[in-house]
Structure 1
């Protein structure tokens, strides 16, 4: 018997079966597309991860390279002449620090100087080839953006610091006390000249990032010689000649001493302060049997100056003679940094006030024990008719002066040169230094030069400015 209801059910069921088959095919296609998309995302993540790691390693290598190359230029007498060596040094550092980097292509990173040789930079780019993103027609990724064409940049001029002096940089004043006593004969004085000039080259620079850096020179031996214009202001009007009566056995004798052009200690309540010179606070004149001080006019104290060539010229003229009155050199390393003594110097050589706007640094260099002190008249103890040491031993005086300097905020660096294990000299310099990191010993000329370079780089460090 024919059933209309059954007749209509058959086509409906067939349609459902056809739809089911069609849906299964569509789901398969959609699922396949989804799998491909997920694979691309995962693959892209792998490529991006490789890119990020390679980029990090590249930037780190570039930073290390520009600092190394910049150091070469900074230490050179003429930065431009050192460019080739700096580039080779930077390239070597770059290659050494990218040895474990993922393989890259089209690496054009190189190094050069800019800003009139006051900065050393990395330029160029490098790319990493993709594996999965290549399917999306992205065959490689640049490790640096176009805006980062000189990503790593080493400023050779120091800088930084927060001050209120208008340019955000701390000015620097440096006093170099330099031992020119007789024990510095031969290669030692040659080594000292080279090391001191190296420091001047490094700390005094030009450019938009440069800080204002000035350097004073304080050569010392049996005393310190001042410019003639400063003598009266520092010591008043000492008598000449000076006669001293003394007895030896049953006899009385008279020793005659002459005023020299050198000065020595200060006595009284302010002997270890930087109170301005004046009545009751003058320094003493060095008196000797002749009126000759062993320091020549070429070895006078040089007040603060930013004239690099002038300073190096004066360093080249340093000669040697005399004993080691290190407390005198220490005192004058302080006085040239003290605003209280500015009346002795031309305006250009005047020290700034004590404040956070100026970093004041004393570098005390010697090759031996301080061994000369003076009586209350300015005559070296042990001389005929001389009295007892007015201020005690030379090393003790130096340590007291160093304490006064440090109390004023002056950073004290010490450099002992070929001390030969002299315990007194080692102890004096260690006590004077602001910290163990500012206390240097050098056994030979190479180490002396390295010590001065290290100090210079601490004073005006190269820094990265991306």
Structure 2
């Protein structure tokens, strides 16, 4: 009886339970929710992780490419540029934060790479289901580069006295800092400086490029320590002493960069009255030592007339492989056509070219018409065999720009004294093209011109 009663009660309970579906549904829903909700939130976590990964990768790729195409040549500068670009491009999902990011230059064979890393911390909707590590991505952009050999040819004539020279020195120093990199691997950047006035001071290289002087006095010739010449004006033949300055070459190699061993440069016997002396600042061959370059800029002084063609010639010699044996090993230019190498010249003047030479003395008939070469009694009666300074300058510039030399030429007509059509014409024709010719009129615009040249040179150092 007891078992039947118990069995009867159980059947009644089951019947009631079957009729009351609300409780069962609630229990089933609770069980289902407890199981499926974390799974659903986990799926949402996976979705947000995937979405953020894509956004982070896109932003980092764009920032790395931007940094690689910048003018930066140190990891610190690349990192600064890359961080700004990443911040500008990165889209974060709600609750996510940029946890870390870095950009660095890494040497890779003969090239450099910009290597970047970034990580984003995500909000956790299902924190107990799996580890929520930050989303991390990497990006690399190979940045093939170029070596740079640049000759900076600077006007040191008398018209540069005072504030123009101060402005030039400031701008030139900034150009050096911007162009000559602190990091010389895997690509180097070297600069040479050629101060010029009525001539160029060859310094300790003078005997090699001109020949050693013999003690004595020659008449209307070159080679001795003194020269007596027939003047353009007056009956008395002056006698001038030889100097460390040099003038233009003549003959078949007047307008090319054939070795000094093949064709020596011209002599200079400057006047004794103080006009057109040999300038004190000598040439500085190619170097990556910025301290040396800045020291050279500090020696610049303003005096004399303008033999711009001689400055141009020496700017070419500084970066010519044919002249490399003249200089120390570290200052020797590489061959034309060397892979990953840019050769360039920056030429600056504040006036028209007006000084040429004949047999070591300033030529009278060709230069006196410009009224800029000194006293007629200090000039030779004979004319320059190569023509006027403008013609010589143009021939040199044309040859430098032509293949296989392919020298990139920037010109700066610093017209602080007002317009000078002839000077502008000389430099406009010499420059690689109109975009490479600058016409500043004061110290501020001169500095801006040199900054623009530096930016362009740095772009040339990066191949895209």
Same structural fold, with TM-score higher than 0.5 when normalized by the shorter chain: yes
Match of residue 407 from structure 2: 410
8 Å contact from structure 1 (residues 64, 94) kept in 2: no
Match of residue 230 from structure 2: 245
Match of residue 439 from structure 1: 437
Matches within 5 A, 1:392-411: 392-407=387-402, 408-411=405-408
For the pair 1:254 / 2:237, whether they are aligned, the reply is yes
CA distance in 2, matches of 1:121, 1:191: 40
8 Å contact from structure 2 (residues 400, 406) kept in 1: yes
Q: 1:425 is matched with which residue: 423, 426, 434?
A: 423
8 Å contact from structure 2 (residues 206, 245) kept in 1: no
CA distance in 2, matches of 1:401, 1:376: 20
Matches within 5 A, 1:348-427: 348-357=330-339, 358-381=341-364, 382=368, 383-384=376-377, 385-407=380-402, 408-418=405-415, 420-427=418-425
CA distance in 2, matches of 1:288, 1:259: 7
8 Å contact from structure 1 (residues 274, 335) kept in 2: yes
Count of residues in Structure 1 that have an aligned counterpart in Structure 2: 399
CA distance in 2, matches of 1:235, 1:399: 27
Cα gap change, 1:209 to 1:260, in 2 (>3 Å): closer
What stretches of structure 2 of length at least 5 have no aligned partner?
A: 1-36, 107-111, 214-222, 369-375
Match of residue 326 from structure 1: 308
CA distance in 1, matches of 2:95, 2:414: 49
Question: How far 1:180 moved relative to its partner?
Answer: 1.7
Match of residue 183 from structure 1: 159
CA distance in 2, matches of 1:127, 1:211: 38
8 Å contact from structure 1 (residues 417, 444) kept in 2: yes
8 Å contact from structure 1 (residues 360, 411) kept in 2: yes
Q: Residue 319 of structure 2: SS of its match in structure 1?
A: coil
Match of residue 180 from structure 2: 204
Q: What whole-Å deviation, never above 9, does each CA across 1:210-237 have from its counterpart, x for those lacking one?
A: 3133221111111100123433532553
8 Å contact from structure 1 (residues 54, 102) kept in 2: no
Matches within 5 A, 1:279-358: 281-290=263-272, 294-297=277-280, 299-357=281-339, 358=341
CA distance in 2, matches of 1:123, 1:224: 52
CA distance in 2, matches of 1:216, 1:341: 13
8 Å contact from structure 2 (residues 316, 345) kept in 1: yes
Q: What whole-Å deviation, never above 9, does each CA across 1:136-185 have from its counterpart, x for those lacking one?
A: 9699895642xx3xx588x9xxx725xxxxxxxx4432211111222222
8 Å contact from structure 1 (residues 259, 285) kept in 2: yes
Matches within 5 A, 1:10-409: 48=50, 52-53=54-55, 55-57=57-59, 59-61=61-63, 64=66, 71=72, 87=80, 95=87, 97-98=88-89, 105-109=96-100, 124-127=118-121, 144-145=136-137, 148=138, 151=139, 160-161=144-145, 170-207=146-183, 209-235=185-211, 237=213, 238-245=223-230, 252-278=235-261, 281-290=263-272, 294-297=277-280, 299-357=281-339, 358-381=341-364, 382=368, 383-384=376-377, 385-407=380-402, 408-409=405-406
Cα gap change, 1:197 to 1:122, in 2 (>3 Å): farther
Cα gap change, 1:51 to 1:270, in 2 (>3 Å): same
Match of residue 28 from structure 1: none
8 Å contact from structure 1 (residues 230, 344) kept in 2: no
8 Å contact from structure 1 (residues 216, 302) kept in 2: yes
Question: How far 1:111 moved relative to its partner?
Answer: 6.0
CA distance in 2, matches of 1:226, 1:428: 24
Q: Residue 363 of structure 1: SS of its match in structure 2?
A: strand
CA distance in 1, matches of 2:298, 2:113: 28
Q: What whole-Å deviation, never above 9, does each CA across 1:102-121 have from its counterpart, x for those lacking one?
A: 65622235668788xx9998
Q: Residue 176 of structure 1: SS of its match in structure 2?
A: strand
What stretches of structure 1 of length at least 5 have no aligned partner?
A: 1-35, 162-169
Q: Residue 174 of structure 1: SS of its match in structure 2?
A: strand
Q: Residue 245 of structure 1: SS of its match in structure 2?
A: coil
CA distance in 1, matches of 2:237, 2:54: 87
Q: Residue 177 of structure 1: SS of its match in structure 2?
A: strand
CA distance in 1, matches of 2:336, 2:270: 37
Cα gap change, 1:459 to 1:376, in 2 (>3 Å): same
CA distance in 2, matches of 1:415, 1:356: 28
- Which deviates more, 211-220 or 226-235? 226-235
CA distance in 1, matches of 2:82, 2:400: 40
Question: How far 1:332 moved relative to its partner?
Answer: 0.3
